[in-house]
Amino acid sequence: MKIELKFVFSSIYAYLIVSTSEAAYIIGGGYTQGVIAEYKNDSWRQFGTLLKGRYWHGSIALGDEAMIIGGFSIDGR
């Protein structure tokens, strides 16, 4: 099933980019805090949703896995 990403805003900021040998991911961000978007085979899809949306966060990647660290959520935590 292909899910198209439909962003309400024309831009995003404070997001995180993680890449693997298979795909690239945009995780969270100012307008898209809970979104995990995947770019693979020349197309975008929503790969998942964060349990708690984040912006201005970081990550540590090991192989094909990434741990999201820090940042802020809409409630300021």
- Cα pseudo-dihedral 48, 49, 55, 58, rounded to 10: -50
Mean pLDDT of the chain, nearest integer? 83
What's the rounded mean pLDDT across residues 25-42?
Answer: 90
Grade residue 70 by pLDDT with cuts at 50, 70 and 90: very high
DSSP H helical ranges for the chain: none
User: Which amino acid appears at position 19 of this protein?
Assistant: S
Length of the chain: 77
Model-wide pTM > 0.85: no
The sign of the dihedral angle between the CA atoms of 20, 22, 28, 31 is: positive
Residue 61 or 50, more confident: 50
